[in-house]
Amino acid sequence: MSTPFYVSPEQVMKDKSDYARKGIARGRSVLTLAYADGILFAGENPSNALHKISEIYDRIAFAAVGKYNEFENLRLAGVRYADLRGYQYDRRDVTSRGLANAYAQTLGTIFTESGKPYEVELVVAEVGQRAADDQLYRLTYDGSVAEEHGFVVMGGNSEPISTFVKERHDPTAPLEVAVRLAREALSTAPDGSTRTISADDLEAAVLDRTRPRRAFQRLVGPRLERLLGPALDGTGTGADTAPTDASSAGTGTTEPTPETPTA
């Protein structure tokens, strides 16, 4: 008679956690941070159709990392939850805290009862009338909920990005400064090296408290390029820097420079 195979509950939970964390770490990071007039979301995403950042309701937005089909299911469920609650009661009754609790119950049930956990990590954010009223909730694959302040980094290369943002983040800075900080942070590699993320590869959106009712707005095209500023060349200055010699400035003529022979 064969001995039945047994795995302790602790080992099962540990294996599920390791599996989910590895899946989330393979994705590209998403950064959420507060700025003077609201909340900014930014993430490296070459796709123009598969969004990691989306609107949920009037002043609530959602950002995610991990498996797209899984967090897309959660996004759609959140939209249905918000629409139904706003229709049955009042639009003011739809809150990020209620949505975060609903997500936590769903993720917790999937983690404990299904054979495979969701490989996702979420942020649910709500912008208030004042900066002090803004709310940020971070949800992990097992249904854990944490209220965050200032900024949240999820997925991929999260630790060095979090350290970078913590040293430089100013919640009272304007949107331009926040966008440039986000791109610089997302460009940081684990070994300390940096690269340049183009505007076409950066997905960005805001919850703008100055907008009436629907605060969510995507940053795309020329507006995003203006916020990011001129591209940097290898010397750390703008590539379109004006020349400063006398001939180009129109201050007179200069003697022609003799050509130097090359070897």
Rg (CA), the chain: 23
Spatial distance between the Cα atoms of 207 and 42, rounded to a whole number of angstroms: 12
pLDDT mean over 91-108: 96
pLDDT of residue 240: 41
Spatial distance between the Cα atoms of 69 and 141, rounded to a whole number of angstroms: 14
Q: Which residues, in sequence order, are CB contacts of 56 under 8 Å at separation 6+? A: 62, 75, 78, 79, 82, 99, 124
pLDDT of residue 3: 57
Residue 221's region, left for phi above 0, alpha for psi from -120 to 50, else beta, is: left
Class of 15-229 per CATH? Answer: alpha beta
pLDDT mean over 69-94: 95
Spatial distance between the Cα atoms of 132 and 27, rounded to a whole number of angstroms: 31
Q: 3-state secondary structure string, 169-194?
A: CCCCCCHHHHHHHHHHHHCECCCCCE
* Confidence category of residue 257, pLDDT binned at 50, 70, 90: very low
Q: Which residue has the higher pLDDT, 97 or 242?
A: 97
Phi and psi at 3, nearest 5°, equal -80, 130
pLDDT mean over 234-243: 39
* Confidence category of residue 2, pLDDT binned at 50, 70, 90: low
Q: Which of 53-62, 190-199, 232-241 has the highest mean pLDDT?
A: 53-62
Per-domain residue ranges of the chain: 15-229
Is 66 in contact with 30 (CB distance < 8 Å)? no
Share of the chain above pLDDT 90, in %: 71
- Give the model confidence (pLDDT) of 202-227 as tens digits: 999 999 999 988 999 999 999 999 99
Place of tokens 């917790």: 108
Query: What residues are paired with 219 via a beta bridge?
Result: 204
